[in-house]
Amino acid sequence: MSDRVLHVENLTVDIPLATGILHAVDGVNLHVDRGETLCIVGESGCGKSLTSLALMDLLPTKATRKIKKLELGGESILGYSEREMSDVRGNKMGMIFQEPMTSLNPAFTIGNQMIETLRRHRNLSNDAASELAKRMLEKVGITAAGQRLGQYPHQLSGGLRQRVMIAMTLLCEPELIIADEPTTALDVTIQAQILLLLKELQSEFDMGLVLITHDLGVVARIATRVAVMYAGQIVEEGTAKQIFENPLHPYTRGLMRCIPVPGKTKRGTPLGSIPGMVPSLIGDFTGCRFADRCELAGDVCRQSDVPLRDPNGKTQAYRCIHSIEMLAKGGVA
């Protein structure tokens, strides 16, 4: 069995609008190994959520997905029918969304919803399924699990609901979990607990994890590898250590300067910022998408598309025409 759980080549998502075609995701390549956490980080509108939806084939109907290769556990799931995909989703591929209240059905008990998953994918009897559901709730740290099975989502706190979501995702022991902002709606204290839980369970079940977030603190603490997205493209990719200690792309460097860090950024002094706004992705776009906000940008940057490259073969690839030495010297306003 291969170690590679997810392999994506050349993923493109287009959304036709009245004013033209919106190129929301443009040529994204991803891979995740067993036991690895890939964090996709970027600001709102950069295409990170659409990327995750595209992987699960859950895009809104008017969006079109073009993809060269999509393999889950070494098996291509590209030509799968809707029926076959729903066998994959929740079974081999688990999903956790941001707001647990909107992903749980308010009209059914927790137990009902967990048992439904098991009966759909595992063909278990009701009793066996509810026993397994109970064990899984205990695994994610929920006390009085038997009692919780009979409760409705609104009777649980936000942290508990997210634990239920995680338990539900783990029921069928997926090879890959895709988590889209799993802790954004939670308090910091609960966020730390949920992330710790996710990480422990990931190594216990030896799963691949794709975590989508905009919180660089979360990324630094949980990621094995990081992909930074900007305007539909991956602009930099590398290990967490590389990205945080030696960011290359001017956008990544700019982002790092924006975050206040206790003990590092001095109070009262201004934080870094990135001037300008994300360009419109409607219609064709040539050149570097960050050029208008980048102080290193020249005419060359706007002339042709910039490929993602890894000049030193150190697994840290970036999408900028400038050399590593030049980027290390020059800063971003």
Partner 1 sequence: MAELMIDAKDVTRNFTISRGMFRGKQQLKAVNGVDLTVERGEVLALVGESGCGKTTLAKVLLGLLPQTSGTVELCGQPINDVPRLALARTIQPIFQDPYSSLNPRKTIGSIIALPMKVQGIADQDSMRRRVEETMDLVGLPPRLYDAFPNQLSGGQRQRVAIARALVNRPQIVVCDEPTSALDVSVQSQILNLLNDLRNELNLTYIIISHNLAVVEHIATRVAVMYLGRIVEIADTDTLFKDPQHPYTRALLDSVLTPDPNMGIPNNQLGASYPNPIDPPSGCSFHPRCVNAMPHCATVAPNGKADGGHYVECHLYDDAS
- Give the residues lining the site for partner 1 (CB under 8 A): 43-44, 141-143, 157-160, 163, 187-193, 195-196, 199, 214-223, 239-241, 243-245, 254-263, 265, 267-268, 270-274, 277
Q: Which is nearer to partner 1, 68 or 314 (CB)?
A: 314
Task: Write down the least CB distance from residue 288 to partner 1, Å.
Answer: 17
Strand partners, 75: 72
Which segments of the chain are extended strands (E)?
A: 4-17, 20-33, 37-41, 64-66, 69-72, 75-76, 93-96, 176-180, 208-213, 225-230, 233-239, 317-318
Nearer Cβ to partner 1 (153/159) = 159
For partner 1, the closer of residues 88 and 296 by Cβ is 296
Nearest approach in angstroms of CB 227 to partner 1 is: 15
- DSSP class per residue in 154-209: GGS-HHHHHHHHHHHHHTT--SEEEEESTTTTS-HHHHHHHHHHHHHHHHHHT-EE
Pick between residue 245 and residue 295 the one whose CB is nearest to partner 1.
245
Tell me the one-letter amino acid at 276.
G
Cβ 267 to partner 1 shortest distance, Å = 6
65, 15 Cβ separation under 8 angstroms: no
Minimum CB separation of residue 15 from partner 1 in Å reads 19
Closer of 62 and 267 to partner 1 (Cβ): 267
The CA–CA distances, whole Å, from 32 to 13, 35, 189, 194 equal: 20, 9, 28, 21
Block residue for tokens 């000049």: 311
Q: How far is the CB of 84 from partner 1 (least distance, A)?
A: 36
